[in-house]
Amino acid sequence: MTTFKSLGLNSPLLKAVEKLGFESPTEVQKKVIPLLLQDKTDLVALAQTGTGKTAAFGFPMLQHIDIETKKTQGLILSPTRELCLQITNEMEQYGKDLKQINIVAVYGGANITEQAKKIKRGAHIVVATPGRLKDMIRRRLVDISAINFCVLDEADEMLNMGFYEDIKSILTHTPDSKNSWLFSATMPPEVNTIAKKVHEISTGDYGGDKKCWDKKRRPPIFYCTWERTLYRIKSCSGNESNYFWLCVL
């Protein structure tokens, strides 16, 4: 049986797993956690709500965070205030045994000054909805210029809600070197068609950002830049089949 320990989680996180009563990792956790614990991974994962996806990206992010520095190292974008609060709550529970981890939720319809104050105290991880975060960046109330990890949760939902331009704008304030982890419950059919097409090609220059290819992996998902993935999910237009993604179902 696969255990959380065998996936590579460290002891403070294993303690949280025990306290939460998680007996074994879910499918998405089994696939994603070992990948995201590596030093540099960009990931696109298909995962529905209720599959344990928050822990799938949350545990690795928490394990990578350097508690000693107060700067913001992780950003999680989510479509709604409810999801933003839910993710923050889950992350706080997962990080309970990491001393002094500070996770701050940033969302519309609540007092911006209060949220800014919390960030000023030092937010290792910011969980945000796109509109409010963009506003706070514009007012220089948050600094995401040195983040190492950026999660886009429920990407399809964010795009459905019209956040594409906001997300694009937010990402211009983040470093190219960050790890980009995208989770989406759906991918338009065109994406899968292209996925299958690319999957049949086992060698060659993909012109993508990473040459990482595993022919045995079923179904395929591929590595590529965040921008291209977003664009692909949004419109699927143009011939971008030379880019590289990795998908985990």
Cβ-based nearer residue to ligand AMP, 78 or 229: 78
| Residues contacting residue 187 through CB under 8 Å, at least 6 positions apart | 46, 156, 233, 247
d(Cα 71, Cα 218) in Å, to the nearest integer? 38
| Binder among 9, 13, 25, 163 for ligand AMP (CB under 6 A) | 25
Segment near ligand AMP (CB under 6 A), from 50-58, 197-205, 208-216, 235-243?
50-58
- Choices 48-56, 113-121, 159-167, 205-213; region in contact with ligand AMP by CB under 6 A: 48-56
Work out which of 10, 15, 26, 168 binds ligand AMP, going by CB under 6 A: 26
Does 62 engage in binding with ligand AMP (CB under 6 A)? Answer: no
Per CB under 6 A, 112 contacts ligand AMP = no
Distance separating alpha carbons of residues 127 and 235, to the nearest angstrom: 26
Q: Which is nearer to ligand AMP, 26 or 192 (CB)?
A: 26
Q: Is the Cα torsion angle 37, 24, 94, 48 positive or negative in sign?
A: positive
Which listed residue (36, 42, 51, 91) binds ligand AMP by CB under 6 A? 51
Are 48 and 26 in contact by the 8 Å Cβ rule? The answer is: no
Residue 49 binds ligand AMP, judged by CB under 6 A? yes
Give the helix/strand (H/E) hosting 20: helix 11-20
One residue of 31, 53, 124, 199 binding ligand AMP per CB under 6 A: 53
Contacts of 198 (CB under 8 A, 6+ apart): 206, 220, 222, 241, 244, 245
